Amino acid sequence: MIERRPTKQIHVGDVAVGGGAPVSVQSMTTTKTADVDGTLAQVYALKGAGADIVRITCNDADAAAGLAEIVPRSPVPIIADIHFNHRMALAALEAGVQGLRLNPGNIRDEKKIKEVAIATKERGIPIRIGVNGGSLDKDLLAKYGTATPEAMVESALMEIRYLEDVDFTDIKISVKNSHVPTMVDAYRLLSDTVDYPLHLGVTEAGPIPGGIIKGVAGIGTLLLEGIGDTIRFSLTADPVEEAKTGRALLEYLDLRERTGLDLIACPSCGRAEVDVIEVANEAQQKLEEAGLAIQVAVMGCVVNGPGEAREAELGIAAGRGKGHLFIKGQVVRVVPEAEMVDALVDEGKKLVEEGIEARLAVADANAEQIAAAEREQLLTIQGDANRARERRARVAEIAEG
């Protein structure tokens, strides 16, 4: 169980951020904000993929006008992304957005920042201080030489002071960098310095798969340390992929309840009785089409498969033209190899409807015995690749003196 670091709680619309609230997923639209229908279509797609909050650019008057139509029709809270023009922030507030993102590297006028903060406070919505290693204030770059963790945190603290000067404290902060180690160190330093909720992200991570790897490396590392209250994967891809990836990461870390399929599979080896890659891909496609939010294992060998994947809610292991269907490591049915995936989907549906105990109660009486006999036959034919029996005997001999 991950022990999360305590932070202040704020609200972006009806989504709580920080203070022990579930870690939320964010993404950003790529449409022109003035294209109201196109932007809303993308917002709905992001919601369907697992996004709790969506950020939309507000870079000109047409975009601000678009927000006025988008916000009341959105299924999730909307954050306006503001860069150089503070008047766009004021216009976005009038449009009804539930949050602002300000980049302190782009709006440097203290008076204008405070003007925005006062107007935002009147509406009771939060501001994210979005520090970015690629757009750091020139004075800080001159001081530190580059976008170091210390430089980014100092930028955030400067902006915090501007907001706190006008008694504005509904703040969340990000210190994003495209260099993963720098990003991780910056957030660690920031977490040790403030108690405001933190928005995690590796900025400009790039296309898939590299962008996902960078994001998981940075965001996952911090989440496992208990740091982070809301996340965004910044991918050069359809933003739906950002939402799906972010949601999946939180589910894999047990930080959000599972809403989608978690398929685990062995990497395959010479002992595999089937093409594990082909079976796993077919199983994933059909299980996702069935909408089954369970953990499923696809194993290529009945000798070790059910035991290695005993924690999976459901699984199938191949052996000698048959598939051993198991629930929590217990073989409940033996089916022909050609029917393995269909049997897996069928059992998955029943498992969701009836529960694990109910499905174990109606297991085929002879399934475990048949499976055990086939495992012994395979050991005789293939031999014990791990030499487990021989090794156990030698260990026991040493242990007994």
Query: What is the pLDDT tens value at each position of the chain, 401 positions in all?
Result: 899 999 999 999 999 999 999 999 999 999 999 999 999 999 999 999 999 999 999 999 999 999 999 999 999 999 999 988 999 999 999 999 999 999 887 888 899 999 999 999 999 999 999 999 988 888 999 999 999 999 999 999 999 999 999 999 999 999 999 999 999 999 999 999 999 999 999 999 999 999 999 999 999 999 999 999 999 999 999 999 999 999 999 999 999 998 889 998 888 776 666 788 898 999 999 999 999 999 999 988 766 667 777 888 999 988 778 888 999 988 999 999 899 999 999 999 999 999 999 999 999 988 888 777 777 776 666 655 555 566 677 787 788 76
Specify the 3-state DSSP secondary structure of 221: helix
What is the CATH architecture assignment of 10-252?
A: Alpha-Beta Barrel (3.20)
Gap between the terminal Cα atoms of the chain:
41
Report pLDDT for 276: 83
Report pLDDT for 378: 67
> Which residues, including other chains, have CB under 8 Å from residue 280's CB and lie 6 or more apart?
263, 265, 298
Helix, strand, coil percentages for the chain (3-state, nearest 5): 50, 20, 35
Report the alpha-carbon angle 55-24-90, nearest 5: 30
> Which residues, including other chains, have CB under 8 Å from residue 248's CB and lie 6 or more apart?
50, 260
Q: Which CATH number fits domain 262-382: 3.30.413.10, 1.10.287.990, 3.40.50.1820, 1.10.10.10?
A: 3.30.413.10
pLDDT tens string 128-183: 999 999 888 889 999 999 999 999 999 999 999 999 999 999 999 999 999 999 99
Strands (E), 127-218: 127-132, 171-176, 199-200
Give yes or no for a contact between 258 and 300, defined as CB atoms under 8 angstroms apart: no
Looking at the chain, the domain(s) classified CATH 3.30.413.10 span: 262-382
Report pLDDT for 319: 74
* This prediction's pTM: 0.87
d(C-alpha 314, C-alpha 284), whole Å = 13
> Which residues, including other chains, have CB under 8 Å from residue 146's CB and lie 6 or more apart?
none
Place of tokens 């590297």: 105
Handedness of CA 282, 286, 291, 292 (dihedral sign): negative
CB atoms within 10 A of CB 385: 13
Contacts made by residues 45-49, CB under 8 angstroms, sequence distance 24+ = 45/240, 46/76, 46/239, 46/240, 46/242, 46/243, 47/75, 47/76, 49/240, 49/241, 49/243, 49/244, 49/247
Report pLDDT for 384: 54
Partners of residue 325 on adjacent β-strands = 316, 333
Report pLDDT for 270: 65
> Which residues, including other chains, have CB under 8 Å from residue 227's CB and lie 6 or more apart?
4, 5, 187, 188, 191, 198, 200
Give yes or no for a contact between 103 and 114, defined as CB atoms under 8 angstroms apart: no
Report pLDDT for 271: 63
Q: Closest by alpha carbon to 374, among 329, 326, 334?
A: 334
d(C-alpha 1, C-alpha 19), whole Å = 17
Looking at the chain, the domain(s) classified CATH 3.20.20.20 span: 10-252
Cα 351 to its chain centre, rounded Å, is 25
**Which tokens is 396 given?**
């026991």
Residue type, 124: G
Report pLDDT for 225: 98
